[in-house]
Amino acid sequence: MSAGRAQAFWLRNLTAKIAAIPMILTSLVIFIGCSIWTVVYSFTSSRSLPVTDFVGFRQYERLFGAHRWSLAVENIAIYGVLTLVFALTVGFILAALLDQKIRFESIFRTIFLYPYAMSFIVTGVVWQWMFNPGLGIQHFVRQLGFENFTFDLISNRNTVIYAIAIAGIWQITGFAMVLMLAGLRAVDDQIWKASRVDGIPAWKTYVMIIIPMMRGVFVTSLVIIAAGIVKLYDLVVAMTNGGPGFASDVPAMYVYNWLFERANLGHAMAASTMMLLTVLIIMVPWFYMEYGRKNKN
Amino acid sequence: MNSIEIRDLVLRFGKTTVLQDLDLDIEQGEFLVLLGSSGCGKSTLLNCIAGLLEVSEGQIFINGRNVTWEEPKDRGIGMVFQSYALYPQMTVKGNLSFGLKNAGASKEEIEKRIKNASQMLQIENLLQRKPAELSGGQRQRVAIGRALVRDADVFLFDEPLSNLDAKLRTELRVELKQLHKRLQNTMIYVTHDQIEAMTLADRIAIMKNGFIQQLDSPATIYNRPKNKFVAGFIGSPAMNFLEGTLDCTGEPHFVVGEAKIPLAGYEFSQNLEGKTQSSFGIRPEHIVYGEEAQKAPFNAKVTVDVFEPMGSDTQVWAHVEGQNFRFRIDGRDKIANGDEMLIGFDPACASIFHGETEERI
Amino acid sequence: MKNEPKGPRPRKAFSPGRIMLYSILVVAAIYYALPLYIMIVTSLKGMPEIRMGNIFAPPVEVTFAPWVKAWDSACTGLYCEGLKVGFWNSVKITVPSVIVSIAVASVNGYALVNWKFKGSEFFFAVLIFGSFIPYQVMLYPLVIITRELGIFGSLWAVIFVHTIFGMPLLTLIFRNYFAALPEELFKAARVDGAGFWGIYWKVLVPMATPIFVVAVILQVTGIWNDFLFGIVFAGQPNFPMTVQLNNIVNTTQGIKEYNVNMAATMLTAMVPLVIYFVSGRFFVRGIAAGAVKG
């Protein structure tokens, strides 16, 4: 009797389990399985086809010895720091300005956010055109009479990553702004009233009370934007294709290059394992914090 | 001199008028409660007094000074909010001192005031804690403390106890009363809870649709409600209303169906002649039954429809002349559905309201 | 008593603070709008005008020739068929991907909220965590999987990959939405004898229209804008618009026609931009919904 009941119960939930198969397969086979596969094959000498010829850390040694890889890492670090700092601060400032009961708020918000609706390829192509030294912004300013003005970030090896960062920040700021605005709107109205009765100036209320209250929003925005930064690929392809030379290479492009163009799987897997490691370092503490906090409540 | 004077106050949000031609005088040291259901304008009025909302028309005086255009911080007020509105990232001490520091008070002065306030509210041992580490009652004490340290002339409370559970609410209510006794400051207190209003107030202002319906002492409001709304709003269970005709042709009496209620002891507020369509209001707790009912100036036989035992007493639902009628009997008396009972009351403690204007007669 | 303060505080129409506020916002708005403006004006100029003038100048002679060329005959390497090929490829990729990914994810969210089974929360946690793993880590194994399934280099492979990578975010927003619905609704339907699919179709789907709209907007813009999966999995004949745009703009052969490039860029950005401008509120809601993890 009880066995029969247990079976009926099992069967009754069976539809749900069958329906959840895509999710189960995706999480186990793709997210866990493929990641492990990649880590495992990073220790092999696989070239155009995966082989199980284990060579220890040799791929990693080569990776850390490669000038192009260290350039890619340096680039993503510069891009990442700039993007995070500017997207979060400018995003917050814009959100705070929009939160002052202004007219045309939705028009401003629409303008700040539309870049986020476009493809990185589109963004890259437009900014490439604006940075064009011969016909773009530099050309325009020189026409105004400033003959020696130079604004040629994109074709200079040392500055090309800043050109990409400007485009990337332009695209992502609206996203940060929307999250910040939602955070600001979630602040209890009575906190503002209390601070007015206390006679605290608005800017001081933001700095001393509101921003500390919004720590969670900042952390969430930071994690989401940071995870996007690690994936940076399309924008570079469209703007510079990694050039001049390899001056604007980034890890995602490096991996792609070694996977599909140079047919050196082992080396590409080592590089992507490093990317995975970076994400884990960012994510695990946050995930633990979020999940741990939820369990406590 | 009045502590607070409000003259011809009007407040509009766009096209909707929230407060209409409102006048209010509050004496020095008075505890005034603004009572009403949500949307009646009571919190709006408080926010206007605080300066958190800008008035559309009219004037506000605090201690004789016209503060209509002043910032909240310059009005000499302290305010306590429903959600406590403590600054979550600061300690209790930080919360108490933030406004003072900002106003440029000296260190000794700040310490002194914090010491005073925290002693008075018994939160000395909590000074180093963050709001998240406090219970609801403790948080509200800190919020009151934040108003106290401002050394204000007037304290404004915006439903300060609504977020607390019933037991704490009762405790803090008593503490607030003691606090008022000690400080003797003017206090304005917004609530939708009539028990809070009755127990705390020197005077209650009952509000509806942006108007003050009645402004009187709790006893007057309870015993002599000015109109039918106030009568129905105050008191739980609510007042019984019998619809009928007031007949002043001879000895004044109230006719409901077959029954005639003599109004010998009733104190009339208006001089009426002839017959008037009106409502006769009598509170359930003023109904007597059994032997006492026989001695009452008016009595009637009713049948018990439903009864609800509440422990100390039992609420009985019945009909008088086909109209719903409630009363309370002692919780120890046995009763069953369908029982016949004799009930009675003294019309002297009733209230009669005009059928059209709903004003007290 | 005449000059006693009365009524609202008199205010200058524009206080210095407000002027500052609006100035900053207007400057920022100009900065953010500028690239779109440049795209449009450049695409409407002839090449001589581009060489003679500056990029900010509005076109003296408006010409739609670059748009026609971008759509119909711009060259990507050897082929000169214009962006129209990519446009239709993108449509062929986006429509089924959006339908399949939303169907799968909404059922996931439903199962996670109302039919919890042992381990369901674990799979969900992995899913959310997985959304942060760089695609490059899973790219090659996915190539192998799609090759084994016999779909690599076809539309099916791209649809497959979009369904997988759309799953975490979509499942999250459906789960949160369904979790916010009153549980009694689900219980009442079960008491009435409805099963898994009955409740899904008859109770939840009709109530979830807004979140389906949000999901459609998120997915259409996301998939339309994708580049990486298109170039890796779709195969040459199926390249989506973004890949084709990149090939047109960054082709090394011939002289650069900036006006055609910008017209092509506008054409590629058109679909997501129209969706964004028409459905702004839902777009914003999608962003907010995706940011509330857990």
- Count helices and strands (H / E) in chain A: 17, 0
In this structure, the strands spanning B154-158 and B77-80 are: parallel
Q: What is the pLDDT of residue C196?
A: 85
Are C287 and A179 an interchain contact pair (Cβ–Cβ within 8 Å)?
A: yes
Report which secondary-structure segment, H or E, holds A6. Answer: helix A2-12
B53 and B140 assigned to the same domain: yes
Checking if the pLDDT of A291 tops 80, the result is no
Domain that holds residue B279: 233-354
Given pLDDT bands bounded at 50, 70 and 90, which one contains residue C224?
Answer: very high
Instruction: Express each pLDDT in C5-23 by its tens digit.
Output: 888 888 777 788 889 999 9
Are C126 and A97 an interchain contact pair (Cβ–Cβ within 8 Å)?
A: no
Q: Which residue has the tokens 């604007």?
A: A248
Q: What is the pLDDT of residue C62?
A: 87
Bond before C182 cis per omega within 30 degrees: no
Q: Answer whether A108's CB lies under 8 Å from C25's CB.
A: yes
Structure tokens, B264: 């010998």
For residue C1, the chain B residue with the least C-alpha distance is B66
C6 — contact with chain B (CB < 8 Å)? yes
Residue ranges of the domains in chain C?
16-63, 84-291
Nearest to C32 among A111, A182, A256 (CB): A111
Identify any residues that bridge with B303 across adjacent strands, giving them in sequence order.
Answer: B340
Checking if the pLDDT of A4 tops 60, the result is no
d(CA B103, CA B99): 6
C5 — contact with chain B (CB < 8 Å)? yes
Q: In the predicted model, what is the mean pLDDT of residues C166-187? A: 89
d(CA A198, CA B69): 17
Checking if the pLDDT of A10 tops 80, the result is no
Q: Could you give the residue ranges of the DSSP H alpha helices within A34-135?
A: 35-41, 58-65, 67-98, 105-113, 120-131
Q: What is the pLDDT of residue A8?
A: 55
Q: What domains are defined for chain A?
A: 66-296 (1.10.3720.10)
C7 — contact with chain B (CB < 8 Å)? yes
Chain A hits for C142, Cβ within 8 Å: 30, 34
In this structure, the strands spanning B186-191 and B31-35 are: parallel
For residue A176, the chain C residue with the least C-alpha distance is C287
Are B56 and C8 an interchain contact pair (Cβ–Cβ within 8 Å)?
A: yes
- C1, with CB counted inside 10 A (0-12, 13-18, 19+), is exposed
Instruction: Express each pLDDT in A44-54 by its tens digit.
Output: 988 888 888 88
Checking if the pLDDT of A146 tops 90, the result is no
Q: What is the pLDDT of residue C1?
A: 46
Are C9 and B68 an interchain contact pair (Cβ–Cβ within 8 Å)?
A: yes
B191 and B148 assigned to the same domain: yes
- DSSP assignment string, B45-81: HHHHHHTSS--SEEEEEETTEE-TT--GGGTTEEEE-
Domain count, chain B: 2
**A102/chain B closest Cα distance in angstroms:** 16
- B260, with CB counted inside 10 A (0-12, 13-18, 19+), is middle
Q: What is the pLDDT of residue A1?
A: 40
- In chain C, % of residues over pLDDT 70: 96
Chain C hits for A35, Cβ within 8 Å: 133, 137-138
Instruction: Express each pLDDT in A191-202 by its tens digit.
Output: 999 999 999 999
For residue C4, the chain B residue with the least C-alpha distance is B66
Q: Answer whether C259's CB lies under 8 Å from C55's CB.
A: no
Which has more confidence, C63 or C118? Answer: C63
d(CA B75, CA C128): 52
Are B69 and C4 an interchain contact pair (Cβ–Cβ within 8 Å)?
A: no
Are C7 and B56 an interchain contact pair (Cβ–Cβ within 8 Å)?
A: yes
**B150/chain A closest Cα distance in angstroms:** 8
Q: For residue A112, is it left (φ>0), alpha (ψ between -120 and 50) or beta?
A: alpha
Q: Could you give the residue ranges of the DSSP H alpha helices within C115-240?
A: 120-130, 135-149, 155-180, 183-191, 196-199, 205-207, 209-224, 228-233
B272 and B220 assigned to the same domain: no
Q: In the predicted model, what is the mean pLDDT of residues A171-185? A: 93
d(CA C241, CA C74): 13
Chains that touch C (3 or more CB pairs under 8 A): A, B
Chains that touch B (3 or more CB pairs under 8 A): A, C
Question: Looking at domain C84-291, what is its CATH homologous superfamily?
Answer: MetI-like (1.10.3720.10)
Structure tokens, B69: 């255009």
C9 — contact with chain B (CB < 8 Å)? yes
B219 and B237 assigned to the same domain: no
What are B141-144's contacts with CB under 8 Å, separation 24+? B141/B172, B142/B84, B142/B86, B142/B92, B142/B95, B142/B96, B143/B80, B143/B81, B143/B84, B143/B85, B143/B86, B144/B80, B144/B176, B144/B179
Structure tokens, A20: 């959840």
Biggest distance spanned by C-alpha atoms of chain B: 77
Are C280 and A106 an interchain contact pair (Cβ–Cβ within 8 Å)?
A: yes
The closest of B316, B322, B320, B318 to B335, measured between CA atoms, is B316
B287 and B151 assigned to the same domain: no
Three-state DSSP state, B204: strand
Rounded to the nearest 10 degrees, what angle do helices C280-291 and A215-230 cross at? 100
For residue A134, the chain C residue with the least C-alpha distance is C51
Which has more confidence, A162 or C15? Answer: A162
Cα of C182 vs its chain's centroid, Å: 30
d(CA C101, CA C94): 10
Q: In the predicted model, what is the mean pLDDT of residues A172-180? A: 94
Residue after which a domain boundary falls, among B196, B231, B266:
B231
The closest of B37, B141, B128 to B80, measured between CA atoms, is B141
**B54/chain C closest Cα distance in angstroms:** 6
Q: Which of residues 138-157 of B touch A (CB under 8 A)?
A: 146, 150
Instruction: Express each pLDDT in A91-128 by its tens digit.
Output: 999 999 999 988 899 999 999 999 999 999 999 999 99
Q: B360 in a domain, yes or no?
A: no
Q: Which residue has the tokens 């509200």?
A: B140
Q: Answer whether C35's CB lies under 8 Å from A127's CB.
A: yes
Model ipTM value: 0.90
- Count Cα neighbours of B88 within 13 Å in the Cβ-side half-sphere: 13
Which has more confidence, A141 or A121? Answer: A121
Chain C hits for A27, Cβ within 8 Å: 123-124, 126-127, 130
Q: In the predicted model, what is the mean pLDDT of residues C215-225? A: 92
Answer positive or negative: Cα dihedral of B271, B276, B279, B281.
positive
Report which secondary-structure segment, H or E, holds A149. Answer: none
B221 and B260 assigned to the same domain: no
Are C6 and B59 an interchain contact pair (Cβ–Cβ within 8 Å)?
A: yes
Are A198 and B102 an interchain contact pair (Cβ–Cβ within 8 Å)?
A: yes
Nearest to A275 among C32, C124, C136 (CB): C136
Residues of chain B with pLDDT under 70: none
Residue after which a domain boundary falls, among B176, B196, B231:
B231
Answer positive or negative: Cα dihedral of A285, A291, A295, A297.
positive
Q: What is the pLDDT of residue A45?
A: 86
C1 — contact with chain B (CB < 8 Å)? no
Residue after which a domain boundary falls, among B231, B263, B279:
B231
B274 and B252 assigned to the same domain: yes
Contacts of B201 (CB under 8 A, 6+ apart): B31, B32, B33, B189, B217, B218
d(CA C56, CA C63): 17
B224 and B286 assigned to the same domain: no
Q: What is the pLDDT of residue A9?
A: 56
Q: For residue B157, is it left (φ>0), alpha (ψ between -120 and 50) or beta?
A: beta
Q: Which of B48, B69, B75 to mutate to test the interface with C (most CBs of C within 10 A)?
A: B69
**A1/chain C closest Cα distance in angstroms:** 22
B277 and B206 assigned to the same domain: no
Given pLDDT bands bounded at 50, 70 and 90, which one contains residue C294?
Answer: very low
Q: What is the pLDDT of residue B106?
A: 92
CATH of the domain at B96: 3.40.50.300
C-alpha distances (whole Å) from A90 to each of A55, A167, A211, A217, A229 are: 47, 14, 14, 15, 17
Are C276 and A16 an interchain contact pair (Cβ–Cβ within 8 Å)?
A: no
B178 and B73 assigned to the same domain: yes
CATH of the domain at B250: 2.40.50.140
Q: What is the pLDDT of residue C252?
A: 67
**A151/chain B closest Cα distance in angstroms:** 45
Q: Which residue has the tokens 């079960």?
A: C190
Q: Answer whether A78's CB lies under 8 Å from A165's CB.
A: yes
B268 and B340 assigned to the same domain: yes
Q: B361 in a domain, yes or no?
A: no
B222 and B315 assigned to the same domain: no
Q: Which of C1, C4, C6, C12 to mutate to test the interface with B (most CBs of B within 10 A)?
A: C6
